[in-house]
Amino acid sequence: MRNNEIKAFQCCLESAEGGNHAEQNNLGNCYQNGIGTTKDEEKAFQWYMKSAEGGSGDGQLNLGYCYHYGIGTIKDEGKAFQWYLKSAEGGNYMGQFNLGHCYQNGIGTIKNEEKAFQWLLKSAEGGSGDGQQNLGYCYRNGIGTIKNEEKAFQWLLKSAEGGSGDGQQNLGYCYRNGIGTIKNEEKAFQWLLKSAEGGSGDGQLNLGYCYHYGIGTIKDEGKAFQWYLKSAEGGNHMGQDNLGYCYENGIGITKDEGKAFQWYLKSAEGGNHMGQNNLGICYRNGIGNIKDEGKAFQWYLKSAEGGNHMGQLNLGHCYENGIGTIKDEGKAFQWYLKSAEGGNHMGQNNLGICYHYGIGNIKDEGKAFQWYLKSAEGGNHMGQNNLGYCYRNGIGTIKDEGKAFQWYLKSAEGGNYMGQFNLGHCYENGIGTIKDEGKAFQWYLKSAEGGSGDGQLNLGNCYRHGIGTIKDEGKAFQWYLKSAEGGNHMGQNNLGTCYRHGIGTIKDEGKAFQWYLKSAEGGNQNGQNNLGIYYENGIGTIKDEGKAFQWYLKSAEGGSGDGQLNLGNCYRHGIGTIKDEGKAFQWYLKSAEGGNHMGQDNLGYCYGNGIGITKDEGKAFQWYLKSAEGGNHMGQNDLGICYHYGIGNIKDEGKAFQWYLKSAEGGNHMGQNNLGYCYRNGIGTIKDEGKAFQWYLKSAEGGNHMGQNNLGNCYLNGIGTLKDEGKAFQWYLKSAEGGSGDGQLNLGYCYYNGIGTMKDEGKAFQWYLKSAEGGNHMGQNNLGNCYLNGIGTLKDEGKAFQWYLKSAEGGNYTGQNNLGYCYQNGIGTIKNEEKAFQWLLKSAEGGEKYNQNAVEYVYRNEIGISNVKKKQNKLKYKCNNCKNSNIQNNTCSDCELIVMPKWTSGNYEVDKIIYMTQSDENANQWEIWSWIDYSKLKNIEYLAEGGFGSIWKAEWIDMPEEIFEFYKSNQVALKKLKNSQKISSEFLKELTANFQCRNKYVLPILGITQDSMTKEYAIVLRYMKNGNLRDFLKENKSLPWIERLWLLNSFVKGLTVIHDKGWIHRDIHPGNLMITEIHNNSKYKFVRLGDLGLCRLASETLSSGAYGVLPYIAPEVLNKYKYTQASDIYSVGIIMWVILTGKIPYANSACNLELAVDIFNGKRPKINKGSPQCYTELMEKCWHKDPSVRPSASMISNISEKWIFEVLYDKKTVDSLMFLNAEQKMQDEEDSDLSSDEFIHPEAHLISKLLPSDFKNFNIDNINFDGR
């Protein structure tokens, strides 16, 4: 063969040198292709030149080709065009073809598709297969002529039948796609086979494609590979690209990424833009070569600039994510736009994403929807998925869950794992279709098996919760593991939860921490929140509240409702940051508004308690309602509390019960506790202690410390179960150790009383201490008791006071009562009756009988009401200079003048005593006396006659404000002394006694005045609206025993004051025992001992006669007028009988010598049957003939106070039961001896007077008893 070529070459050479232009062209061809000689493109060019210049059309054609591609000469497209033109005009159809190609592509001339078409038509009509093939291309695409696919098909058919490989290849394309003819893949395959076998690289490429996908023939990846190989080895760059794809994916050949890279490189370097794109993918992902994002970017750039829409897509991705170049979302958008406009469906999808989220462009959901739609309709499965998302959420279009489902279905059926995931979600939740958990499971399974992290995550959820399949925690764990290892951050979070709780695997908090950490660092908000929990509580890692706060913050800022909730907790409690209730409120608000039901519950708590916001119970109720309706069991419990107590809404115990029930059934242990409380007390339901016990049991077993405490109560008291103090103790212990203040309190009570355990006051003290330090107000009270009484610790009244104070300030009524007691008696603090009164009053407002009784004690004893000192609030008088009431200590605070008093009684001694009261810095307001101008007393009204004067009522019209504020009345009593126009020594003695015995239990003097008409002096006294004891008992014949005891106690306290000051009253009888009541409560009555006119010092020797009311005068006084304090006690005994019976002693006897003798000889009033023994025994001691047997006033006061305490607080003592029995008998029947109307002897004296003259020589030795 080689010898023949040499001979041919020699012949051509001879002929060419002889001037034959045709042979000159052939000789050039020999030199160009090395036929029969050494290849020499310069000589080829020279002989083509000779041939062309000689007019050979073929020579002109080939010379143009040399200039076109720079073969043997410098490339010159202008000269190429000129020589193609000569050849074409000379009728050379191949020259006409190339000339048409120049006009079509603007090679060496201005682009002109019409001329291109004309020259290709000439070439085709001249029989050129290439011309016919390219003319078909013009008709197919409307280049230089009207588009006509039928003509295109016909010209391609001519070219193919003429043997053109390219024509056969393009004819196959027409049959494959039905262009200009009926679609026929078998004919397509046959023509492509001819083209390929004829050596066409494009034909070989497309034939490989047919075998690859089974188009017109049976699918055969091996043959596909072989034809791609032929095409590639023949230099076809698209073939090289496809061959690389085969090697990359193991199609028809063993997978070999290195060879894949090499063929992509050949294709790319050959200018194939798809090859350039695929080479970029290799560099980006390190396929067959070292990963190099910079080179990836460069090859994507070449591909994109070359118009490859997939390259444009990938280049946009590089700019969007800063891969191999600086991140530039604007450029990313532009390249996605080019890709999308070029018809690339993934580019259309990505462009939709840019418009959707405003990436590199202004956000435009409408345009996003349109591009997703184009992508989806173009068959892109990711675009179909995103279009479904738009329809589901109404993004850029009207919300339509049915259409969303349909597009998800298309995406899923097309194999898109995200579409499969979303389709599963639709089936799981019934979105756009009927709910079908089985189908949901199947689609999640497809998505998961396809490698979708989200699909693996949800498949794990299905196995974990038994959704559409049998519950299998082991498989749940495995799928969470796949999702997590694949980088799915929610999967990492869920895997952490599996390790945390031992779900499908062995519990491992360390691994849980690690997976939460991965999830958190990957930006998953749930993972960040859980990581915060681990740091906060030191689970699987060292406790670090600062890091906990930081991760909660990340989670919260990322929009996690749980993260916002926990961040709110951090700010509220100062965990890992400075406490800030305002910020706590704001984060709870974000969490709540985002639909987090626990956040709504906490927000409700903020509004309910004014945490970080103004307290608003209405808003608290509304947020609790949202939380509860959202299914949050704590919210349901709190909503129940609102209905229970009428917080932010009308009280409704029925609704309270229902919400507690929902909370309890949902497993909330506080709700279970509260439901137990409802059943125990019949709140919103029928009382049922058995059910109460059961719900307390559930709450307790669930670890609720309040439930444990209440369960202990049930066992202690046998509520809904058998009484069992041992179990009560055990549950109190659990509650206490869990930190419950009530549990600690009750555990202390158990140790104190030896309930269910050995009595141990030391442990009782310790548990009361824990309870108290934890803020339990009853615990604080009990701790105060321990310190007060030295129980389990050293006695310390100061600490007792401090703990009572904490308890009281916390609102505990018992603590308030005990604090009042401390202030009242100066225990651990300075005595302060006003504070005592205030705290006891608060205690009573709690509604408990014990505390209300304490207030009764306060009111009846006027404790604290009168405790404002003169030095703190002086009585003010009107200044004669400025006329303002600002004079204190004789000084006007307005005009700053020293003003001497303008008043005078006319008697130095009286003025002196008045001034002494006014200048006493330690005096109480009601202990200060005034000289009262008689003209300031109005509406003077006569009341009664006394032994030494008359009693009147009046109104003091300019009573000092401070006095009025105490008594709440300006009414006063006047005691006008008979024949007192001149001050007598007896009058001064009465004033002195009153001055020295000033006390609230002694009827107080307010001042002294003088009748302007009669010139009689009068003592101005507190007005006692209920009169004296005699009149009061006459009007109140059936007093309860507690009232009788109060009457006794209150008057004996006054006598105790007089005796303690060293005085003897000497005139005790019912007329001098004055009764009044609290100004705002007629229930609280008390006695004040008055009329100290006969009061004398115990040390004073008396020689004058006896004064008083005979039945109340002690026997020893009747015998030689021997007055002692014991003589007053005898009077007390008779008063006790009066209180007991309501009668007048010896009413049917004249007050004469005979009665005196009887009294001296032991006659005493008759005692009622059924009278309390303890009372009668004390009474009999008081009126005992022997003064030394009689008790002191303070003893009677203490005993009567003890009785009051026992009766008032229902203490079941021997004495209190006597009073209780007497009370019952008094109600059932009246004593027949005392029930009839009382006969009063005309000479039975009821007021004090000097005893008759026949008493003067009264001596037991001189009396003839037989002559009576």
Per-residue pLDDT, averaged over 526-543, amounts to 97
pTM here is 0.62
**What element of type H or E holds 617?**
helix 617-629
pLDDT in tens, 393-445: 999 999 999 999 999 999 999 999 999 999 999 999 999 999 999 999 999 99
pLDDT in tens, 688-721: 999 999 999 999 999 999 999 999 999 999 999 9
Confidence of residue 1012 (pLDDT cuts 50, 70, 90): confident
How many angstroms separate the CA atoms of 194 and 423, rounded?
A: 46
pLDDT in tens, 214-251: 999 999 999 999 999 999 999 999 999 999 999 999 99
End-to-end CA distance of the chain: 189
Fold match between domain 775-861 and domain 877-1022 = no
Does the structure show a pLDDT above 90 at 142? yes
Distances (CA, A) of 630 to 40, 561, 608, 636, 662: 89, 14, 19, 9, 12
- Averaged pLDDT of the chain: 91
CATH number of the domain located at residue range(s) 1034-1267 in this protein: 1.10.510.10
Per-residue pLDDT, averaged over 54-64, amounts to 95
Does the structure show a pLDDT above 80 at 1098? no
Distances (CA, A) of 745 to 320, 697, 752, 770, 777: 65, 20, 10, 8, 10
The SS3 call for residue 1018 is strand
Here the tokens at position 1248 are 């004090």
How many angstroms separate the CA atoms of 152 and 1263, rounded?
A: 168
Q: What per-residue confidence (pLDDT) applies to 973? A: 93
pLDDT in tens, 150-182: 999 999 999 999 999 999 999 999 999 999 999
Q: What per-residue confidence (pLDDT) applies to 796? A: 97
Confidence of residue 900 (pLDDT cuts 50, 70, 90): very low
Domain made up of 877-1022: CATH architecture = 2-Layer Sandwich (3.30)
Q: Which stretches within 687-758 are classed as H helix?
A: 689-701, 705-717, 725-737, 741-753
Within 10 Å of residue 379's Cβ, how many Cβ atoms?
11
The SS3 call for residue 951 is strand
Using the structure block, give the residue that is written with the tokens 């593991």.
481
Asked whether the beta carbons of 1084 and 859 are under 8 A apart, the reply is yes
Among 642, 637, 594, CA closest to 622: 642
The 8-class DSSP code of residue 1101 comes to -
pLDDT in tens, 34-44: 999 999 999 99
Among 825, 793, 796, 820, CA closest to 809: 820
Does the structure show a pLDDT above 60 at 1268? no
Q: What per-residue confidence (pLDDT) applies to 908? A: 86
Does the structure show a pLDDT above 90 at 115? yes
pLDDT in tens, 636-662: 999 999 999 999 999 999 999 999 999
Domain ranges of the chain: 775-861, 877-1022, 1034-1267
pLDDT in tens, 958-969: 998 888 887 888
Write phi, then psi, for 971 (nearest 5 degrees): -75, 140
Does the structure show a pLDDT above 70 at 194? yes
Asked whether the beta carbons of 24 and 59 are under 8 A apart, the reply is yes
Q: How far is CA 1101 from the centre of its chain?
A: 81
Among 1068, 1094, 1064, CA closest to 1250: 1094
Helix axes 849-861, 1193-1208, angle to 10 degrees: 150
Using CA atoms of 613, 618, 624, 627 in order, give the dihedral in degrees to the nearest 10.
-90
Confidence of residue 512 (pLDDT cuts 50, 70, 90): very high
Within 10 Å of residue 261's Cβ, how many Cβ atoms?
21
Per-residue pLDDT, averaged over 126-136, amounts to 92
pLDDT in tens, 1117-1141: 887 768 899 999 999 999 999 999 9
Per-residue pLDDT, averaged over 993-1005, amounts to 87
Confidence of residue 864 (pLDDT cuts 50, 70, 90): low
Does the structure show a pLDDT above 60 at 850? yes
Does the structure show a pLDDT above 70 at 451? yes
How many angstroms separate the CA atoms of 123 and 120, rounded?
A: 5
Q: What per-residue confidence (pLDDT) applies to 895? A: 55
Does the structure show a pLDDT above 90 at 33? yes
What is the identity of the amino acid at 1205? F
Q: In terms of pLDDT, which residue wins out, 845 or 887?
A: 845
pLDDT in tens, 600-640: 999 999 999 999 999 999 999 999 999 999 999 999 999 99
Does the structure show a pLDDT above 90 at 880? no
Does the structure show a pLDDT above 80 at 884? no
Per-residue pLDDT, averaged over 1250-1261, amounts to 56
Asked whether the beta carbons of 767 and 745 are under 8 A apart, the reply is yes
The SS3 call for residue 392 is helix
Q: What per-residue confidence (pLDDT) applies to 1096? A: 84
Q: What per-residue confidence (pLDDT) applies to 553? A: 98
Does the structure show a pLDDT above 90 at 1232? no
CATH class of segment(s) 775-861: mainly alpha
Per-residue pLDDT, averaged over 1008-1017, amounts to 90
- Residue 666 burial by CB count (10 A; 0-12/13-18/19+): exposed, middle or buried? middle
Within 10 Å of residue 138's Cβ, how many Cβ atoms?
24
Q: What per-residue confidence (pLDDT) applies to 869? A: 45
